[in-house]
Amino acid sequence: MHLQYEDFEKIMDIGIRLSTERDRNRLLLTILDKGMEITNCDASTLYLYEKEELHFKYMKTLSQGINRGSDGEVIDLPPVPMKEENVCSYAAIHQEVVNIPDVYASSRFDFSGPRQYDSLTGYRTQSQLVVPLANNENELIGVLQLINAMDETGSVIAFNEEYEIIIRALGAIAAIELTNLSYVEALKTQIYSFVEALTTALEERTPYNALHTRNVEKYASLLADYITQLHGEGKCEKTFDQARKEQLMLAALIHDIGKLAVPLSIMNKATRLNSRIEKIDDRFALLRALYEIDMLRGRITAAEYEETVKDLETELAFIHAIDVVDYVTDKDCEHIKKLAEKQHTGEEGAALSYLTPQEAECLAIRSGTLTLKERREMENHVVMTSRILEKVEFYKGFSMVPKWVGAHHEYLDGSGYPKGLKGDELDLETRLLTVVDIYDALVATDRPYKEPISRPKAIQILKDMAKKGKVDLQLVEWLDEALEKEGVADT
Residue 240, C-beta contacts closer than 8 angstroms, at least 6 positions apart: 224, 225, 227, 228, 248
Q: What is the pTM of this model?
A: 0.68
Residue whose C-alpha is closest to residue 374's, from 259, 267, 446, 258 = 267
Count other C-beta atoms under 10 Å from residue 182's C-beta.
Answer: 14
Confidence grade of residue 70 (pLDDT, cut at 50, 70, 90): confident
Q: What is the C-alpha to C-alpha distance for residues 94 and 89, in angstroms, rounded to an integer?
A: 8
CA atoms within 13 A of residue 430's CA, in its CB half-sphere:
24
Which pLDDT tens digit goes with each residue over 224-234? 999 999 999 99
* Domain boundaries along the sequence of the chain: 5-182, 206-258+385-486, 276-368
Cα separations in angstroms, 315 against 155, 281, 352:
102, 11, 15
pLDDT of residue 112 exceeding 60: yes
Which pLDDT tens digit goes with each residue over 120-165? 888 999 999 999 988 777 788 889 999 999 999 999 999 988 888 7
Q: Could you tell me if 171 and 131 are in contact, meaning their C-beta atoms sit under 8 angstroms apart? A: yes
Q: Could you tell me if 351 and 344 are in contact, meaning their C-beta atoms sit under 8 angstroms apart? A: yes
Please give the average per-residue pLDDT across 169-190, as a whole number: 74
> What is the greatest pairwise CA distance in the chain?
125
Amino acid at site 256: D
CATH class of residue range 206-258+385-486: mainly alpha
Confidence grade of residue 33 (pLDDT, cut at 50, 70, 90): confident
pLDDT, position 234: 94
Identify which has the larger pLDDT, 305 or 257: 305
Give the whole-number percent of the chain exceeding pLDDT 70. Answer: 93
Span 5-182: which CATH code? 3.30.450.40
Please give the average per-residue pLDDT across 465-477, as a whole number: 96
Confidence grade of residue 6 (pLDDT, cut at 50, 70, 90): low
pLDDT of residue 289 exceeding 70: yes
Please tell me whether residue 172 adopts helix, strand or coil conformation. helix
DSSP single-letter state for residue 109:
S
Residue-level length of the chain: 491
Cα separations in angstroms, 205 against 218, 260, 261, 384, 491:
22, 8, 10, 16, 29
Which pLDDT tens digit goes with each residue over 348-399? 889 999 999 999 999 999 988 999 999 999 888 999 988 888 888 887 788 8
Q: What is the C-alpha to C-alpha distance for residues 449 and 368, in angstroms, rounded to an integer?
A: 7
Give Cα 352 to chain centroid, integer Å. Answer: 54
Q: What is the C-alpha to C-alpha distance for residues 420 and 418, in angstroms, rounded to an integer?
A: 6
pLDDT of residue 489 exceeding 90: no
Whether the domain at 5-182 and the domain at 206-258+385-486 fall into the same CATH topology: no
